Amino acid sequence: MKEFLLTLLIGIVAGVVDVLPMIKMKLDKYSIASAFVFYLILPFIIFNIKFNGIAWWLKGGMIGLGVALPVIILAARDDKKSIVPMTVMSAVLGTVINTAGHYLI
């Protein structure tokens, strides 16, 4: 139960970190909700995938970017400027999520 709650807390924090700039930019509520749910669920995916031969600190960024690619491609259709920020945030927050999980769980 402790592991589940810590994973959920890490997801909430990551979601808030990603959503705050979106709120400041006054993006639509569906984009904000989508991003929050993405980062709420991402820690559960990262913590339950095992990669052999990959450094632990690299795993989160790889998974975060890989899972976000379909959303990035879809968003790029309407807004080409969003490709770089979404890619960077996916990789960075994936790494941060995995680092938090590595030390807390």
**Residue 7 contacts residue 101 (beta carbons within 8 Å):** yes
- Range of the structural domain that residue 49 is part of: 2-104
**Domains identified in the chain, total number:** 1
The pLDDT tens digits along the chain (105 residues) read: 899 999 999 999 999 999 999 999 998 999 999 999 999 999 999 999 998 889 999 999 999 999 999 999 999 998 899 899 999 999 999 999 999 999 998
- In sequence order, the 6+-apart residues with CB closer than 8 A to the CB of 64 are 42, 46, 90, 91, 93, 94, 95, 97
> SS3 for 49?
coil
> SS3 for 51?
coil
CA distance 6 to 25: 29
Q: What is the per-residue pLDDT for 68?
A: 97
Q: What global pTM score does this model have? A: 0.91
